[in-house]
Structure 1
Amino acid sequence: MKDKTIDYALRATWQAVARMYNEEAGKYDTTMATGFTLLSIDREKGTPSTSLGPKMGMEATSLSRILKNMESKGLIERKPNPEDGRSVLICLTELGREKREQSKTVVLKFNEVVQEQVSEEKLRHFFEVIEVINNLIVEKKIYR
């Protein structure tokens, strides 16, 4: 344990998870980024494009590229937002809803398998630690 740093463990684990998700997504002719985006869009009402980036923690340029690709594959469509004429809603197409369900199944399976292998107590501690790390970052208590 003394050689591992917290950031290394987080990064290495996330990279392994991302590889696993991308490998699984490839079976459905998609990517992890597309699956994550599909899961972030409201299934019925759509999601304003301006709130999607912050919701996903993505920069506008990266998200724009993903949305353009998703639109070209027929997964989403852009519609005027009836509540705000200046913004656009990102809405799922029927194909997008199907791919969203596939993505949801993949994520739930991952969670199910991990929960079978890790006790509730250890998972609770894991989430407590993650929350502390996030709060330290958000509150800028690491590098002032």
Structure 2
Amino acid sequence: MASKTPHTAANEAAAPKLEQQLCFAVYSTMLGFNKVYRELLKDMGLTYPQYLVMLVLWERDGLTLTEIGERVFLESPTLTPLLKRLQSAGLIERERSAQDERQVIITLTRKGRELRSRSATVMSCIAEATGCSLREINGLRDQLLALRSNMFAHAA
């Protein structure tokens, strides 16, 4: 068995460790969020990305596919099948714009609007799962939003 040269040993010592990586901390935390959300959203019949779309529509109904995609950071090829599933579930309607047939307008159905009241406890359950105070949650959110902004500004 060959012994390690000083150069090889120094490179191994300087190699980044997984647990020291910010990207891994964010990624693995999101996996934890997904597990908690999956359980909370199961009774509502929603996936996490579907829940995000519903949140956007509960804020403002009658958005275009493009507007929704911009809000939830999803491209049309990913968003379209998700919207079709929400439509099949009777939660939204998709309709071509009368002014511009290239645009699809997404509106909530009565069932979709009624689902909002069932989602009322989701935020408090998530807050409890974090083990953080409201002040800590708001601070983390603000830091992550700033981080996201910086990352997008530096992305090619």
Q: Same fold (TM over 0.5)?
A: yes
Q: CA deviation at 1:89?
A: 1.5
CA RMSD of aligned residues (A): 2.7
CA contact (8 A) 1:77 1:91 kept: yes
The whole-number CA distance in structure 1 between the counterparts of 2:58 and 2:48 is: 18
Q: Which runs of 5+ in 1 are unaligned?
A: none
Q: Which residue of 2 aligns with 1:138?
A: 152
Q: Which amino acid counterpart does residue 99 of structure 1 have in structure 2?
A: L
The answer to whether residue 91 in structure 2 is matched with residue 75 in structure 1 is yes
Q: Secondary structure at the match of 2:24?
A: helix
Q: Which residue of 2 aligns with 1:107?
A: 123
The whole-number CA distance in structure 1 between the counterparts of 2:151 and 2:124 is: 28
Higher strand share: 1
Q: Quick one: structure 1 residues 96 and 43, their matched pair in 2 at CA, closer, same or farther if it must change by over 3 Å? A: farther
Structure showing greater Rg: 2
* Greater relative contact order, per chain length (Cα 8 Å cut-off, separation 6+): 1
Q: Which amino acid counterpart does residue 95 of structure 1 have in structure 2?
A: K
Equivalent pairs, count: 138
- Aligned-residue sequence identity (percent) comes to 22
Q: Quick one: structure 1 residues 45 and 117, their matched pair in 2 at CA, closer, same or farther if it must change by over 3 Å? A: closer
The answer to whether residue 44 in structure 2 is matched with residue 35 in structure 1 is no
The whole-number CA distance in structure 2 between the counterparts of 1:68 and 1:104 is: 24
The whole-number CA distance in structure 2 between the counterparts of 1:119 and 1:30 is: 26
Return 124-133 or 66-75, whichever deviates more.
Answer: 124-133
Runs of 4+ residues deviating >6 angstroms: none
CA contact (8 A) 2:58 2:116 kept: no
Q: Which runs of 5+ in 2 are unaligned?
A: 1-16
Output aligned runs, 1:82-97, within 5 Å.
Answer: 84-86=99-101, 87-97=103-113
Match of 1:118 among 125, 133, 139: 133
CA contact (8 A) 1:74 1:93 kept: yes
Q: CA deviation at 1:80?
A: 4.3
CA contact (8 A) 1:81 1:89 kept: yes
Q: TM-score, normalised to structure 1's length? A: 0.77
Q: TM-score, normalised to structure 2's length? A: 0.72
Match of 1:21 among 37, 48, 55: 37
